[in-house]
Each structure stands twice: as structure tokens, then as C-alpha cells.
Structure 1
Amino acid sequence: MTPPPPFGLVVPVKVLAAAKTRLRGAADDGVGEPSAHARLALALAHDTIAAVRGASGVGRLLVVSSDPVVAAELGAVGVEVVPDGPVAGLNAAYRHGAGLLGTDGPVAALQADLPALRPQELTAALAAAWVAFGHGAPAAFCADAEGTGTTLLAAAPGQPLDPRFGDGSAAAHRTAGAQELVGDWPGLRRDVDTPDDLRAAAELGLGPHTRCVLAPTSPDC
């Protein structure tokens, strides 16, 4: 099989004030101050994006967000950020970004709350998706740690991205014809929605942005 061409990658980031509501208080010992919560939500995205940029096999990275802080922060480190399209919602943001990337090459959709993601995990998962495409799969996905959600969805060249993120998304993507990817990628599978998820991610090893939001007095922060 020929080596995979670079994947276009879409990462939507919700407006920070409305993002990760079940984590409210995790950054400030339960107080839930809005700016502290926004810093945590932004840090999760920062660490996810940093891992993406360190991975092999990623070509154009596109963040979809209408939050001006997200656009400024990520734009300052060279990340391309575009606003949401006319339709609201996570799946609409994925479709909007995929439409901007086009379908000439493979396209992937990644969640923005993977603070323990390692570049080599994403590299391996994209390579596995390319193998699945070679065996005839139109799409491939990586389930989350619980096995019910989805953290990564990839579409083969010429195939439209068909995101079905939300409750039960792993089953929805499987039913739609996407092949489930199997690999030892704990950071890729550990999305963070709750304090328990955040603790599980910390056991794997958080990226520096999230780590410093949670422990700002650490020597390396």
C-alpha cells in the first residue's frame, strides 16, 4: 500500500463560556469562577492542538471556533482558525470545516478535549485509518475510553465526512459504515467531560497547558 497522504484535520472549539459545563469548578476547587473555567477549556484545546501539530500525517489543520479568545490564542501560535458556519452544533462545525478542506485527500475530525493525547498516538491512528481505507472502508473511527463515544473520525479521499458525534456516537458511526480502529492509544481515547475524566487524563499525563491551569504554582508553570 502506498504511504498515506497528509490528512486534513478539523477540530471544533466551542465558545469557552459555554464549553465543558460539567467541568465547572474543576480549575478553582469547586468555585466555578467563569474566567477560571474558560482558562481550563482553552487549555484542553491548546494541549490537543499541540499534539496534533506534533503528529506525522497531518497536513492542513483547521480549528472551527467563533470564540475570539480561541481565535487569538491559537492564531498567535500559527493555527488556522475559522468561525462557525451558519448552522449551530458540533456536527455542523465538523461538516463546515470538512467542506473548507475538501475531499481530494483524507479528512479527519478530532475532539478538542484530549489533554493527554500524544502525537504518536494520532500518527498511528491516522495510519490505521489509511489501512482501513485500503481495505474498502469509506471511513474509520476511534472510540473513546468507555467505548460508546468517538474521539476521531476519518473519511477516505473522495468520501464526505459524516460526523455523528454525541451520545452513542460510536454505534452511530459503526452503523453508518465506518470501521472501528483498534490500537493502544489511551490519550486519544481519553476525552474529558467530567472531573473523573480529568483525573483519568491526569493519570496518563496532562499536557502543559492543562497541567498549569490545574497547578499554576508548579515549578514548570
Structure 2
Amino acid sequence: MDPAVDLVVPIKRLDRAKSRLRGAVPGPHADVVLALLLDTLTAAASAAGVRRVLVVCEDPRAVKAVDEALPGMGVESVDERGLSGLNAALQHGADLLRAGDPHGVVGALQADLPALRPAELASAIAEAGGRRAFCADRPGTGTTLLLSAPGGPLDPRFGPGSAAAHLAGGATPVGDGLATLRCDVDTAADLAVAIGLGLGPHTAKFIDPFVAGRATDR
């Protein structure tokens, strides 16, 4: 049996997150960022092969929202401030998860995948087959998912050109045809693609009533 996967999902302070999306969606920006996060977490926690989901954040509003919106789903959160950027937050989360299972698989999942389907995340995990692996974003330059080998280092290299950096670090590309896993949302154009794929209910409520009514049943 393949080892279960424990995922780290990072989120920066809500007022600073997703700056290129600011104003593209009606409603308070922090609430929109939280909606992206909650839809991502709902899908991740429901995916076959995922055991734990740990949110590493630097905003107590995110901790509160996760605890209130996703009770009993196996999603945990830690409020960690002062970490030096995204990769440090991911490594911190991976270390916390690895402490509970030194030989397991840890992974990093981006927090802005509002159209994510649990089956697509499960498919990427299965395709990885225990290998260190990553899934590139739609343009092919960024990374939406990074998986360690069992007991191996996560070694996150997120930032500009992260797909090439993870490939160079020995990770195997997976998920080429998994549209909802590759659709991270940084801009209004990205959001339009996610709408076409079918938003989760938390994000859909910020669009229009027609789109909200088509939110995927998670």
C-alpha cells in the first residue's frame, strides 16, 4: 500500500496575499483570499491518499476561519510568524508533519486552487507513486504541488521558475492533464479559467449568483 500523504498549505497575511487579484472580485480582499484557501483545503482533505493537511499561516483570521469552516475534516493550522518567506514556511510545516511520521510522504500544496477536484489531487499522488514529484501550474513555470519521496526531504524551491528548479532538484513532473490541480489563481484571468472549470462554494459566492449556483458539490 502506498504511504499516506501529509500536506502543508501555506498562506501569508491575508491583507498582503494575492495582491494581483485585489479588486477583481467584489467583497473584502481578505475574505476572497480566505475563500480560495477554504476551497483548496476542502478538496485536499477529501482526496484519497491524503492523511493530514496542515495550514501554516501568519494571520489569526486564517486560523479562525479554518477551524470554523472545516471542523472534523482533518485540517490543522498553526499561526507561525517571522518565518523568512514561503519556502521557510513550507519547510517548517514539513518538519512538523515529519515529526509524526519520519518515513511518510510530505507535500506542499498551493493555497489558491479554488477549482481543485479531490480526484485530480489523488490522481497526481498516485502518478507520483512514492517518487519525489511536482505538478506545474498552467503556464508550466510555477508549481502547484510538490511531493517528497517516503522519508525524503521536501526541499521546496518555490518562487519564479519553480517548476524548472524542482525538476533540476530531481523531482518527477506529474499531473500534466489535471486542469483543476494546475489552475492556481493569481490574476483575474486565472480566476476566469477557474470559473470555467467550476469553483468551490466558498469562492463561488463572491462571483455572481449564476456562477455560484454552478459551484461544484465537494
TM-score by length of 1: 0.88
Q: 2:166 aligns with which of 156, 164, 173?
A: 173
5+ residue gaps in structure 1?
29-34, 134-138
Matched to 1:26, the amino acid is A
Query: Which residue of 2 is the match for residue 150 of structure 1?
Result: 143
What is the count of residue pairs matched by the alignment?
207
In the alignment, what sits opposite 2:40? Answer: 48
Matched with 2:116 is 117
SS at match of 1:116: coil
Q: Deviations over 1:13-37 (max 9, x none)?
A: 1111000000010122xxxxxx611
Q: Secondary structure at the match of 1:109?
A: strand
What letter matches 1:37 in structure 2?
H
Residue matched to 1:6? 4
Alignment partners' CA distance in 2, 1:115 and 1:12: 15
Q: Map Cα deviations across residues 129-185 of structure 1 (whole Å, 9 max, x no partner).
A: 125x2xxxxx10000111110000000112111101111000000011111114421
Q: What is the aligned partner in structure 1 of residue 29 from structure 2?
A: 37
Distance 1:95 1:209 in 2: 28
2:134 to 141, 165, 181: 141
- 1:88 and 2:84 equivalent? yes
d(CA) in 2 for partners of 1:151 and 1:119? Answer: 14
Cα separation, partners in 2 of 1:73 and 1:144, compared to 1, 3 Å: same
Q: Contact (CA 8 Å) 1:85, 1:96: kept in 2 or not?
A: no
Structure 1 residue 53, shift from structure 2 partner: 1.4
Quote the Cα distance in structure 1 between the aligned partners of 2:210 and 2:140: 35
* 1:192 and 2:188 matched: no
Structure 1 residues 21 and 219, CA gap change in structure 2 (3 angstroms): closer
Of stretches 102-111 and 117-126 in structure 1, the one that deviates more from structure 2 is: 102-111
**Runs of 5+ consecutive residues of structure 2 not aligned to the other structure:** none
Kindly state the Cα deviation for residue 215 of structure 1 after the two structures are TM-superposed. 2.5
What residue in structure 1 maps to residue 103 of structure 2? 104
Report the residue type matching 1:126 in the other structure: I
Choose 1 or 2 for highest CA Rg: 1
Decide whether the 8 Å contact of 2:57 with 2:81 is kept in 1. no
Per-residue deviation, 1:86: 4.2
Query: Aligned-residue CA RMSD in angstroms?
Result: 1.7
Counterpart amino acid of 2:110?
Answer: Q
8 Å CA contact 1:117, 1:188 repeated in 2: yes
1:17 alignment partner, SS class:
coil
In the aligned structure 2, how far is the partner of 1:62 from the partner of 1:41? 17
